[in-house]
Amino acid sequence: MNFLRRTVLATAAAMALVPAAGFAQETIKVGEINHYKRMAAFAEPYKLGIELALSEINEAGGVLGQELEFIFRDDQGDPAEAVKIAEELMTRDGAVMLTGTILSHVGLALSSFAAEKGYLYLASEPLADSLVWKSGNPYTFRLRASTWVQAAMLAEEAAKTDAIKYATIAPNYAYGQDAVEAFKANLKRLKPEVEFVAEQWPALFKIDAGAEVQAIERAKPDAIYNVTFGTDLAKFVRDGGDRGLFDGRNVYGLLTGEPEYLEPLGDEAPEGWFVTGFPWYGFEDGTPGKTFVDAYTEATGETPKIGSLVGYMTAQSIAAGIEAAGATDTESLVAAFEGLTVENTPIGELTYREIDNQSTLGAWVGTTALEDGKGVMVDWEYKDPAPYMPSDEDITAMRPAE
């Protein structure tokens, strides 16, 4: 036990050095918490996107005349750890607000913590609908288009076909379940006669692709709705392609078109799937999207992922929010984020809705194809999320009384 005390004191001494190693007082700090190691494939492009935006913002004079700085911290994908780091960032490192996380459950933990302590939290990447709806709170804002909206866009397209019998495959956790529920609800509303003949739930990143493909084939569906991603998607596409599962069937893929998931598939990328994603290669010269892609490619030497875009827009949103607030205390910041408009983002003008603190970032939908041995999205369009949102009354009813 004696050792315990000594280590406590040693840490106190060690950590006293950390702020000293920081910069001068002329910066506004933002606490960014993410799973940089556990989700390296997603977190790295996201961080690069933030850094690009920061360099642009600070070159243009920073915010409120000061430099904007992000403090990046790794939470190991553990919600409890994230909450602890958040406390340190706010009380010790002098951060004015919090942002970050990819995994929804970590985002939900931070959101609850932010509301309890009265800190502002901008959830950048987590997709869970409950973040802004059922568990929404006045201190939490969210940037990325939610699961519900993206699934609704796919359901709208699916409803246009003759397919009646659907099979779904989704990773067995909250995101997968929400995604299937949202697709079913939207499709049934548009086309009540559809039926769901098979629902497959592989464990996340532990798919038994052969067995899943056989099980779907056995149900003889007309169309398939896919929510798997990452290595699960690669195995599913490979086994399904070999066994002819996708022949003559429409497939709808949530997030399948995002470069994070499509690029690793190489020349085995599926063709003819209708997906949501990020077709950066198709942006036309002179559009804000193309400007972002060029700047990112030049700065990093890599092609952008969807995470790059989200990271970039996160930093842009925060700069705009602080500028609009004119101060860095939480109350002014929260007030500024309510209905905040962010100019000149890669998708044009972005706003944070007052009703549920959700941003108006939409999603790109299109059809997958092979070009030069690589999977791409063709015939794509950017869709505004507004028509796919639940009604304002429904949202108000879902959100706990503010």
Partner 1 sequence: MAFLFAQFLTGLANAAALFLVASGLSLIFGVTRIVNFAHGSFYMLGAFIGIYLMEILPGAVGFWGAILLTGIAVGLIGAFVEMVVLRPIYRAPELFQLVATFGVILVIQDLALMIWGAEDRLGPRAPGLRGVWRIFGEPVPKYDIILIAITPFILFALWYLITKTRLGVLVRAATQDREMVGALGVNQAWLFTGVFALGSALAGWGGALQLPKGGADLLMDFNIIGAVFVVVVIGGMGSLPGAFIASVLISVLNVFGVTYLPQSTLVLMFVVMAVVLIIRPYGLLGREEVAGEHGQVGAPETPIRPYGPMGQALIAALLLGLALLPLFVDQFMLILTIDMVIFALFAASLHFILGSGGLVSFGHAAFFGGGAYAAALLVFHTDTPMELAFLFAPLAAGLLALGIGWFCIRLTGVYFAMLTLAFSQLVWSLAFQWRAVTRGDDGLVNIWPSEWLSGTETYYYFALILGVGGILFLRHVIHSPFGYALRAGRDSPRQAEATGIDVKRVQFVAFALAGAMAGLAGGIFVFAKGSVFPTELEIAKSFDALIVVFLGGVKTLAGGVVGAGFMTVVEDWLTRLEYWRLLLGLVIIAVVIVMPEGIVGTLRTLWRRIRNTDEETV
Query: Interaction with partner 1 in 25-54: which residues (CB under 8 A)?
Result: 37-38, 40-41, 44
Q: Indicate the residue among 286 and 301 with the shorter CB distance to partner 1.
A: 301
* Separation CA 180–CA 164 (nearest Å): 16
Q: Is 344 in the site for partner 1 (CB under 8 A)?
A: no
With contact defined as beta carbons under 8 Å apart, do 49 and 102 qualify?
A: no
Q: Indicate the residue among 65 and 248 with the shorter CB distance to partner 1.
A: 248
Q: Which of residues 77-116 bind partner 1 (CB under 8 A)?
A: 77-81, 83-84, 87-88, 91-92, 104-105, 108-109, 111-113, 115-116
Nearest to 122 by CA among 101, 104, 103, 92: 101
Among 56, 156, 222, 264, binds partner 1 (CB under 8 A): 264
Q: How crowded is residue 347: how many other Cβ atoms within 10 Å of its Cβ?
A: 19
Among 22, 61, 118, 266, binds partner 1 (CB under 8 A): 266
Q: Is 60 in the site for partner 1 (CB under 8 A)?
A: no
Q: Indicate the residue among 24 and 40 with the shorter CB distance to partner 1.
A: 40
Strand partners, 390: none
Q: Indicate the residue among 203 and 327 with the shorter CB distance to partner 1.
A: 203
Interacting stretch for partner 1, rule CB under 8 A, among 69-77, 146-154, 250-258, 339-347?
69-77
With contact defined as beta carbons under 8 Å apart, do 111 and 124 qualify?
A: no
Q: Is 201 in the site for partner 1 (CB under 8 A)?
A: yes
Nearest to 86 by CA among 110, 103, 55: 110
Q: Is 212 in the site for partner 1 (CB under 8 A)?
A: yes
How many secondary structure helices (H) and strands (E) does the chain include? 13, 14
Q: Which of residues 169-188 bind partner 1 (CB under 8 A)?
A: 172-174, 177
Helix, strand, coil shares of the chain as percentages rounded to 5?
45, 20, 30
Q: How far is the CB of 170 from partner 1 (least distance, A)?
A: 10
Interacting stretch for partner 1, rule CB under 8 A, among 242-250, 309-317, 343-351, 359-367?
242-250
- Crossing angle for the helix pair 288-300 and 40-59, to the nearest 10 degrees: 100
DSSP per residue over 34-45, as a string? Answer: E-TTTTHHHHHH
